[in-house]
Amino acid sequence: MREFISAFYGNELAIGVQLGAWLFWTALGSALMPRIFSSPPSLSRFSILQFLLAFFFPLTLMAIRASKVFFHISPGEIPGLAEMAKVAFLTLCPLCIVSGFSYTTACQLISELKNHSPKTIGQVYVLEAIGAGLGGFVATLFFFPHLSSIHIVLLLSLINFISGICLWILDSRSEFRMPALILGLVGWLFLFRFSPSIEKTWDQWFWKDLKLLATKQTAYGNLAIVQTGEMLTVFENGLPLFTRPDPLTAESIVHYALLEHPNPEKILLVGGTLGGTIEQAFLHPSVHTIHAVELDPEAIGFVQKYIGTLDWPPHQVQIHFGDARKWIRNTQETFDVIILNMPTPYTAQLNRFYTVEFYQEVRKRLHPHGLFFFQVSSSENAIGKELSEFLSTLYTTLHQVFDEVILLPGDRCRFIASPRMGQLTSDPAILSKRIQERNLQTQYVQNYYIEFDLSKERREYLRSRIFLVPPERINRDFKPIAYLYDLLLWTTHYASFVKKIFIFLFKKKWIDFLLFFIGLLGIYYVFSKASHLPYSEIRLSVLTVGFTEISIELIWILLYQITFGTAYKALALLVAAYMAGLALGSRWGLRWASKNSKTFDRLIGIQCALGVYLMLTIGFLRIFHSNQMNRMLFPIGIGLGGFLGGAQFILANGFFLHKIPSVAKATGTLYGLDLIGAMLGTLFTTVAILPVLGILQTLSLLGILNFFAFLLLVALRLFTKNPSNLDG
């Protein structure tokens, strides 16, 4: 998952598309296995599947990295949704189908060992969840801090290879066992020994048109430094962070902000510290102190090796490392000017720097006559409907907190806000006068540049394209509207039908989504009844919970990202906490399912509990804002969701296996439904529901869907002709 995020620039859509592809192919594999292999399962078949997994792990990593070259995705280019889907579904297909085969085969083998006990699926499900949970914890504590992605994948490959050999030894008497073992280990050692060279070759292949100086994997992403002539550009996860020297960008960021203030003395820079902004700020004679906040401490040291010693005045510059929002919230310092030097909010992670909640924190750190500055991608002379709505949302959101807000035109629209009226100006004559008074020696931001950039016609045109949006379009932490608008702008560069889909979804309200999903579940229920599928209510329950559980996982990851700035380094830990909860819930469900009686009633109770859990989560988030949440709440919250999902799946399987004696058929049916629901959840939640409705309304939608499934189960209990059939 981390590799895919890195390949597609940290975009949350990439997570949803990747998980959707993973779940689709795994569900297909688990459903097809009993239909492809009619013969009884064997250890030799299972060992072959383990060998295939060992082979496909490194192959999949290579395919993901090579995909950007095959699909002609250049460094710094944000690919379209279609490209993401192609890469995800093509690269993950072999690995996930084999994984689905393996699950069903394991269920059949253990069923034979246990004399076809109905607890088989539950035991395999518990073991799978325990393995995933342990894998997440080990990866977080040991693998990610010390090993590269290729080393981690090779270790996983080795584990599966050894597992396959052990199974083969147990089942086979072939004289080729030992040569095969030696050959496999030699091949693995060769790959492990030369993996740094292989990784370097991959990097040079991707950056082949640029001079790649170095790469580094940090806790926050993948860094790369490339050289073009005399300029060095730093990329993070494939997107440019800054270029040095780049006086045009540095001057336009710093001087428009500082010229708005009559006497700037104390400055705060958020992001882009090494892009030349500090040097430009000290050109203003009144500036005596600069604080700068950077997220990744390793990035500064890594970049300094190539840009040389930074000529900053001693004792006047203080660099702080960590989440900028947390630092601003906790510091007691106040500033004349705060400059946000972040990219346009093309992800939900970046969106947290453009919300009402962040602006409120910024205002508390400004002097009474201070100002706040940021800029986003725009258009100098032609602002279309989507761009107009995007800029208007940012303007209205900023106006919720600051009394005075002005916008300055350009290829990047500049937003300047002040706590008091009458502090700001867009008059080029006043700004030009301050340039002369301060004797600024700049290359680009000079009198003629400002007079052209802020001409009356350009200012009036920009003003005509800005309007106040309604309250529901205000950008907030838990409802990232600006991120949605940026998605709309992003789709304008690709297929028009994708843009039309996003525009269509954007106009929909919560009730529209609810009716749509209730309708889908209703259609599935009617189809199941018409096809005479037994216990359609339980099938629908498993499908609904699969949809809900993956959405819960994605929502908690997004909440962590909103609260702490990045989920990149905590991703494995959060997934591990979810899988640990899943294992505990599965173990609890297995214990109750083994008692046979009242399994169905307990299934009803868990279905209701899941709906209650979602509603309580909404209440919790309304009471405790993102700024007040402790890190420990996240593994607890996501783990509790996993517990309920694991218990529900095992209880449903326990009931099903008493009615359908075929382990393979029961396994393929319910596991496939669970994964199909999860696949739909990843795609709908990340692409449509979360961007349009926000976190709180998404949780309420999921809660009602689960109460709908609960009512169907209750109806089955109340209106079945022979209630005793539900108790056995």
Do residues 564 and 481 both lie within one domain?
no
In a domain, 330, yes or no: yes
Do residues 565 and 644 both lie within one domain?
yes
Q: Is the pLDDT of residue 625 over 60?
A: yes
In a domain, 203, yes or no: no
Do residues 630 and 681 both lie within one domain?
yes
Mean pLDDT of 377-395: 88
Do residues 463 and 566 both lie within one domain?
no
Q: Which residues pair with 45 in a beta bridge?
A: none
In a domain, 238, yes or no: no
In a domain, 93, yes or no: yes
Where does a domain end: 433, 455, 490?
490
In a domain, 448, yes or no: yes
What sign has the CA pseudo-torsion 398, 401, 407, 411? Answer: negative
Do residues 545 and 587 both lie within one domain?
yes
Residue 257 belongs to domain with CATH number: 3.40.50.150
**423-450 burial string, b = 16+ CB within 10 Å, else e?**
bbebebeebbebbeebebebeebbeebb
Do residues 628 and 533 both lie within one domain?
yes
Residue 150 belongs to domain with CATH number: 1.20.1250
Indicate the SS3 state at residue 590: helix
* pLDDT for res 521: 87
Do residues 155 and 294 both lie within one domain?
no
In a domain, 497, yes or no: no
Q: Is the CB of residue 302 less than 8 Å from the CB of residue 232? A: no
Do residues 307 and 180 both lie within one domain?
no
- Parent domain of 38: 2-196+508-726
Do residues 261 and 124 both lie within one domain?
no
Do residues 461 and 535 both lie within one domain?
no
Strand duo 317-321 + 289-294: pairing:
parallel
Q: Indicate the number of domains in the chain.
A: 2
In a domain, 23, yes or no: yes
Mean pLDDT of 468-488: 81
**Least trusted range by pLDDT, from 51-55, 143-147, 610-614:** 143-147
Do residues 394 and 535 both lie within one domain?
no
Do residues 668 and 596 both lie within one domain?
yes
Query: For residue range 298-321, what is the model confidence (pLDDT) as tens digits?
Result: 777 788 788 776 778 778 999 998
Q: Is the pLDDT of residue 491 over 70?
A: no
Confidence of residue 633 (pLDDT cuts 50, 70, 90): confident
Instruction: Give Cβ neighbours of residue 363 (< 8 Å, ≥ 6 apart).
Output: 372, 401, 402, 419
In a domain, 170, yes or no: yes
Q: Please give the Cα distance from 378 to 104 (Å, whole number).
A: 52
Mean pLDDT of 166-186: 65
**Least trusted range by pLDDT, from 481-495, 503-517, 534-548:** 481-495
Of residues 177 and 630, more confidently modeled? 630
The answer to whether the predicted template modeling score (pTM) of the entire model surpasses 0.95 is no
Query: For residue range 231-286, what is the model confidence (pLDDT) as tens digits?
Result: 888 887 777 777 888 888 899 999 999 999 999 999 999 988 888 899 899 999 99
Q: Is the pLDDT of residue 158 over 70?
A: yes
Query: For residue range 643-690, what is the model confidence (pLDDT) as tens digits?
Result: 999 899 888 877 776 665 555 555 557 777 888 888 888 888 887 888
Where does a domain end: 438, 460, 490?
490
Of residues 170 and 76, more confidently modeled? 170
* pLDDT for res 265: 94
The torsion angle over the Cα atoms of residues 496, 499, 505 and 507, rounded to 10 degrees, is -100
Of residues 694 and 197, more confidently modeled? 694
Where does a domain end: 490, 516, 548?
490
Query: For residue range 422-432, what is the model confidence (pLDDT) as tens digits?
Result: 899 999 999 99
Confidence of residue 587 (pLDDT cuts 50, 70, 90): confident
